[in-house]
Chains A and B, each alone.
Chain A
Amino acid sequence: MVPPQYYLVLAAAVFCIGVFGLLTRKNALLFLMSVELMLNAANINLVAFSYYWGNVTGQTFGLFTMALAAAEVAVGIGIILVLYRNFKDVDVTEAATMRW
């Protein structure tokens, strides 16, 4: 039986890799991947504590988080398409205003 601390440290590592990517990169696609990593870190915690409490709510909520991540990526890809169409680039620092 693996203690919950290990799951928490794993989730913290995955989350911090996501934060690292978000803070250091400029590519919008890498931004999407980093946000995905952060969401999956939360999923690891949900499933770990689902087992810790012997309750299936955490795992069910993990499924909903995945559906939410899919919806977020659909909108994110649409925004990146518009960004590329307008700037011929996916650099997030190019778009400094909400309208152009």
Chain B
Amino acid sequence: MSDADSGSRPRLKLGGHLAPGLAAVALFGVLALVFLRASFGEAAGFEQGASITAAIGYAMFDIDAGAVPGESMLVAFEIIDLVLVAALAGAVMLARTGAGASVVTALTDGGRDSESATIADSVRELRDTLRGGEE
């Protein structure tokens, strides 16, 4: 095939590198096959006129009220509280720039430290390049 014939069209390269993607598609095939062949009875559904939103609130705080059944989720609520605080602390710890930086400086200077002001530097370089090109 000549170069003019092949052109610059994107070409599908077959090979082993396609295996992970095909594995994901095959997983969907297996799952869909199993689910569509499984038999379920008629859904119970919720009572007509029952407030689901209120029932979620009652279940979350272990209040014995409302028409829709549900388990108490008070322990899960407290655990998720701890997890969120830990994640917040972890995110702040990871986002700190260097040993000397504090949260306050990260807020005021956008998190940049002096030796790696990469975005500002690259913007300045780009601007200089463009200006040089015009001249």
Contacts and interface: CB of A to CB of B under 8 A. Distances in A.
A61 B79 CA distance: 13
B68 A81 contact: no
A63 B24 CA distance: 27
Interface residues of A, number: 41
B118 interface: yes
Nearest to B18: A24
Contacts, number: 121
B45 A51 contact: yes
Nearest to A59: B56
B28 A16 contact: yes
Nearest to A86: B116
Interface string B16-38: 00001101110110011001101
A82 B68 CA distance: 46
Interface stretch (B6-14, B81-89, B125-133): B81-89
A19 B80 contact: no
Interface of B: 20-21, 23-25, 27-28, 31-32, 35-36, 38, 40, 42-47, 52, 55-56, 59-60, 68-71, 73, 76-77, 80, 83-84, 86-88, 90-95, 97, 116, 118
Nearest to B70: A56
A88 B115 CA distance: 13
Name the prevailing secondary structure of the B interface residues: helix
Contacts of B91: 74-75, 77-78
User: Which of B69, B92, B94, B95 has its CB near the most chain A CB atoms (within 10 A)?
Assistant: B94
Interface in A3-18: 3-5, 8-9, 12-13, 15-17
Nearest to B98: A85
Contact of B73 (A8, A60, A75, A79): A60
A88 to B, nearest CB: 7
